[in-house]
């Protein structure tokens, strides 16, 4: 039986911006409340530092969730820097990082959108 969205269901979004010798990309896992997962991996066609790729993963993940009309979302990232900059605890000093803080505006389209640091 396919899943059906119910108002009040809380979805989980796990994001990661891996960086290796082949370039940068984003990894996204969206967990439906009934434990079905949707996994996405995208290669970035531009140069990005590790923290920039982490931001890009968050931005892409939020856009996917918005496109699915998800209302309640809990986001997990392994980047302490990104989580703390988005929450306002840290200041983004680098111009390229400041541009990526626009992801905060994506978060406002959800009824609930919490961001947490995922450890391991």
Residue ranges per structural domain of the chain: 10-117
Which CATH code fits 10-117?
3.30.420.10
Residues 6+ apart with CB under 8 A from 55: 17, 82, 97, 100, 103
Q: Is residue 47 within 8 Å of 24, Cβ to Cβ? A: yes
Lowest mean pLDDT among 35-49, 56-70, 84-98: 35-49
Determine contact, residues 101/92, Cβ cutoff 8 Å.
yes
Give pLDDT tens digits for 81-100.
Answer: 888 888 889 888 888 788 88
- Kindly indicate the confidence band of residue 3, based on its pLDDT and cuts at 50, 70 and 90: very low
Specify the range with the lowest mean pLDDT, choosing from 41-45, 70-74, 78-82, 103-107. Answer: 41-45
pLDDT of residue 87: 85
In the DSSP assignment, the letter for residue 90 is S
Kindly indicate the confidence band of residue 42, based on its pLDDT and cuts at 50, 70 and 90.
Answer: low
Span 8-28, mean pLDDT? 71
């Amino acid at each position: 039986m396919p899943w059906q969205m119910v108002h009040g269901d809380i979805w989980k979004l796990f994001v990661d911006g891996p960086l290796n010798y082949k370039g940068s990309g984003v990894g996204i896992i969206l967990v439906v409340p009934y434990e079905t997962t949707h996994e996405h991996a995208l290669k970035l066609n531009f140069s990005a530092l590790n923290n920039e790729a982490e931001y890009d993963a968050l931005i892409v993940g939020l856009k996917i969730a918005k496109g699915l009309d998800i209302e309640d979302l809990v986001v997990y990232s392994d980047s302490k820097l990104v989580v703390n900059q988005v929450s306002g605890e840290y200041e983004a000093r680098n111009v390229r990082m400041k541009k990526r803080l626009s992801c905060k505006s994506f978060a406002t389209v959800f009824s609930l959108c919490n961001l947490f640091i995922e450890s391991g």
